[in-house]
Amino acid sequence: MPGYLTKQEDISIVGAADLIIRSLLDKQQFSDPLGTAEALGISSAAWPLFGLLWPSGAQLAQRMASRPLQTGERVLEIGCGLGLASLVCHRRGINVTASDCHPLAQQFLQENTRLNSLPPLKYRTGHWGADTSAPAGAVHGEFDLIMGSDVLYERDARASLASFLDRHASQGAQIWIVDPNRGNRSTFHKQMAAHRFEVVEERLDHPALGSIPAYKGRLLVYERPVLA
């Protein structure tokens, strides 16, 4: 792939078969010859983050590997990056759509889908900081479960993410966010409460277990009461 280097690994997901994942070689990779990422507000330092494997993504994938299947359920992953959780869902036959704002996320997702001998996985552009008059190919419609990992990494003064989730959550939907104890969690709780979402937090802390590295973080489950 021109402009950057990649690597390919077998990734273990607790509760699921291994996934073959192609990712960026390291955090030093960058290629934006047409300025596409820059136009979206993605800096050169942030550019490679979508293409790396992150501990919180593995935690979310693990949860989706054991979550009971729900007939007819529509699932959306936001900020999917390499899409571990979406790939786990897709392999289980769940109706899942992966989304990200990075211009190369879809290309990497398609390649990783192919490497695992899976049929095409639905992908949409998901940029909650963008104008609501989204272009063709953007996330649309409502979902019964919206999931994401490590998406509270920056201060969101405009509450763009909470508004995005409000628009795309169906009645009775759940929203699962795996958060590695970022400092923006309490503010996000208040932003979600403004849309009537209540939250239950579950600690995911565990020490290193053999080849599984230690982790500290929480699963945030948001749901709002169904109006009578």
Question: Using one digit for the tens of pLDDT, what is the confidence trace for 158-194?
Answer: 999 999 999 999 999 999 999 999 999 999 999 999 9
pLDDT per residue over 5-52, tens digit each?
999 999 999 899 999 999 999 999 999 999 999 999 999 999 999 999
Contact 105, 80 (CB under 8 A): yes
CATH domain 6-223 topology? Rossmann fold (3.40.50)
Confidence grade of residue 134 (pLDDT, cut at 50, 70, 90): low
Pairing of the two strands 95-100 and 122-125: parallel
The model's pTM is 0.95
Spatial distance between the Cα atoms of 97 and 149, rounded to a whole number of angstroms? 15
Where in the chain are the domains? 6-223
Do 75 and 143 form a contact (C-beta atoms < 8 A)? yes
Residue 84 near residue 11, CB atoms below 8 Å? yes
Task: Check pLDDT > 60 for residue 219.
Answer: yes
> Burial code of 75-106, b = ≥16 C-beta within 10 A, e = fewer?
bbbbbbbbbbbbbbbbbeebbbbbbbbbbbbb
* pLDDT for the residue numbered 133: 52
